[in-house]
Amino acid sequence: MNDQTTPAPSATITALRRPHDIRGLSLNALHLVMAMRLCALFERAGRDPVPDLAQRYRSVEAACAVHGLVRTIVHTWPEPFMVNRPCCLAMTPDEVTLAGMTRSAIAADRAGFAAMLDGFVRTDRHEALHEATRHAVASLSAVA
């Protein structure tokens, strides 16, 4: 038998293990998580999501900003971004991270944003993610 104990999981991993309900999100975080889910569906169907996002947000600018964030995440995330179906109330760990990124962008907490991604997303990609998140949040706030 092995007497070695396994190290306790970090607070971040422990938090991600807990199921998170989409109904507890702010409106902007909910919009961004749902946009990720819708974009995944549109990609599988071979359709451009921007027209539908523009109709949803009643703004082409907001739709383009949100889609820009989605594209930035797809290009900078270290692995495929996992989403649930749009009807699902539970969030994936990636969606929980996106909600946290949104909270940090709203609070203008650049250090918190970086700390959330530290050790998961390469540091040289943080700036692109921060700017895309900040732009998407600002665009959504302008139409709300």
Domains of the chain, by residue range, sit at 22-143
pLDDT band at 144 (very low <50, low <70, confident <90, very high): confident
- Asked if 99 and 33 count as a contact pair (C-beta separation under 8 A), the reply is yes
Average pLDDT over residues 94-117: 96
- Residue range 22-50, pLDDT digits in tens: 999 999 999 999 999 999 999 999 999 99
Question: What integer best gives the mean pLDDT of the chain?
Answer: 90
pLDDT of residue 88: 95
